[in-house]
Structure 1
C-alpha cells in the first residue's frame, strides 16, 4: 500500500455513497430546491449527500477536519492538519435543470495543500481521481480506472481553450483578455464547473480558466490535474488553491507548456 492508498479507497467509498443518493434524486419529480443567502440553488440531494459523507468520515476518520459547502467547517480533532473538503454536488444549477454535467468533489488537504482529489459524475458514468505520487486515473469506478495524461500541445494557436461564464470574467475586469484568448486559440468552449478541468487532465483540451471559486470548488481538481502532468495555479501564478485555506480563489489550469503565456495574456504574470 502506498502513501495515500487507504485515503483513496475511502474517497471511492464516499463517492459510492454520494452517487447512490444523487443519482436517485437526479430528475426526480419531487426534488426540493431552495435558494441560499447568496441566491444560488441548493437541492435536497446536496444536503443529503453531504450529511452521508460527514457521517462516514466521522466513523472512519474521526480525527480529520472537514469543510463542506452546505454545513461549513468542522475543525480537526487530531494532529497533522488533515482536512477533507467536499462539494456534495458541483454543478447544482445543471442538476436541478436536468443537465447531466454535475459531480461530487472530494479532496484531502494537508495544511493548505490538496494531496488527494476525486471527482465522481454518475450521470456521465465517469469518475476521476489522483493523489500526490499516485498518478491520475479515470474510469467508471475504482476497479476499472486507467491512467490519464494531459496533452502535449505547445502553441496557443493549436490549443483547445475552456473558460467559465463570461460574466464572471467581466466582473473580474478581464473580459477582453479572455475574449482575445478565445480568438487566438484553435477552439474555445465553456464546458463549465469541474468538467473542463477533467477534460484537461485527460488531454481532451489544453487550458481551463476560472476567475472566482470557493475552496470546495477547486481543491479536488488540483491533484488530478497535476498528477496527470498539468500545471494548476491561481491568476497570480501561485500554486492553487492560492489565497490561503478559505475565501475566494481563481484558477488557471493547463497542460504545462501553455501556462506562462496564458498567465501573461490574462495580465497577471507568474510570481517569481
Structure 2
C-alpha cells in the first residue's frame, strides 16, 4: 500500500526519530571502550555511527516503507532513484569529533521530494542545538526562527572553513582579506551556523556527499541564505553519483563576491 505524504506526520516522525538518535549518540560520547575502525582505510567510523543509522532506518523506513533510503552507513540501493520521496541520512556527521569526545558532531536527516529537500532536521545533541526546516516555512534553532546575517562584504566576515587554505597566497590570484575563521568537524553544522547568523559563510573546496549537505541545505535556504557549488548552481540530490563538488553556503549579498574569488584560484602547477 502506498502511503500519501503528510507534511505534519512526516515531520513529527522525523523529529522524534532524530531526537531519539541524539540520545543514543550522547550515551556513547566519551565511551572509553568505543569500538572504532577505518572505512576504505581512511574514513573513521564507530559503533555508534552504525547504531544511530540502524535506529533511524528502522524507525523511518518501517513507518514509510515506500520511501527511498540513502545513508552514509548503509549499502546504497539504486531503487531509491525511482522513489518520489527519499530519506538522506548522515548518522554522525563529524565522526572524528565524536570519537575524540568533542561536541561538534551532528545527526542530519533530510526528506527529499524529487531531487530537493522538503523537510530536514540537524541535531547537535552535545551542543543542545536542534535545527529544523520545512520548505517554504522558515528555519528554526531550538524552535526559534533564524535568519542569515547581514554582513555586506568579505573583509572581516566570519568563515567556517580551512584557514590555511584561504590564507595560502600561492593558491590565489588575489589574496583573501582578513577574516575570522571557525571549523566545526561537522560540515553540516558549519552550514547551520550560517543559517543562524553566527557565521557569514561556510566553504569546502573538497567534494562532499549528498548526506553531508542535504539537511543543512534546506535549513540555510529557509533562513534566507544560499547553498550551491563553486559556480553558483543549486545542488540536485538523489543522484546515482552522490558526490557533490565544492560547497558554498552564504548570504545572497556575499555570494557573488565569494564565487568571484573562488574562480580566482591559480593553476595547481603555479609555484
TM over 0.5: yes
Q: Which moved more, 1:106-115 or 1:234-243?
A: 234-243
Cα distance per residue 1:59-97 (max 9 Å; x no partner): 211100000111133455897521001000000000001
Calculate the TM-score normalised by the size of structure 1: 0.85
Given that residues 234 and 252 in structure 1 are in contact (C-alpha distance below 8 angstroms), is that contact kept between their aligned partners in structure 2?
Answer: yes
SS in structure 1 at match of 2:88: strand
CA distance in 1 between counterparts of 2:132 and 2:197 reads 15
RMSD after superposition: 2.8
Cα distance per residue 1:155-185 (max 9 Å; x no partner): 1124212214757x89xx997249933xx14
CA distance in 2 between counterparts of 1:194 and 1:146 reads 19
Q: Does 1:152 align with 2:134?
A: no
Deviation at 1:121, TM superposition (A): 0.8
CA distance in 2 between counterparts of 1:5 and 1:175 reads 51
CA distance in 2 between counterparts of 1:93 and 1:78 reads 30
Aligned to 1:197, which of 191, 197, 203? 191
In the alignment, structure 1 segments of 5+ residues that lack a partner are 140-144
CA distance in 2 between counterparts of 1:103 and 1:178 reads 35
CA distance in 2 between counterparts of 1:100 and 1:129 reads 19
Deviation at 1:133, TM superposition (A): 1.0
CA distance in 1 between counterparts of 2:235 and 2:103 reads 27
CA distance in 2 between counterparts of 1:5 and 1:189 reads 35
Distance 1:35 1:151, change over 3 A: same
> Number of residue pairs matched?
258
Calculate the TM-score normalised by the size of structure 2: 0.86
Aligned to 1:187, which of 153, 169, 180? 180
Match of 2:232 in 1: 237
Aligned to 1:81, which of 84, 89, 107? 84
CA distance in 1 between counterparts of 2:81 and 2:188 reads 31
In the alignment, structure 2 segments of 5+ residues that lack a partner are 266-271
Paired residues for 1:1-272 under 5 Å: 4-74=7-77, 81-139=84-142, 145-164=143-162, 166=164, 176-177=171-172, 180-181=175-176, 184-192=177-185, 193-211=187-205, 212-241=207-236, 244=239, 246-249=241-244, 250-267=246-263
Distance 1:63 1:242, change over 3 A: closer
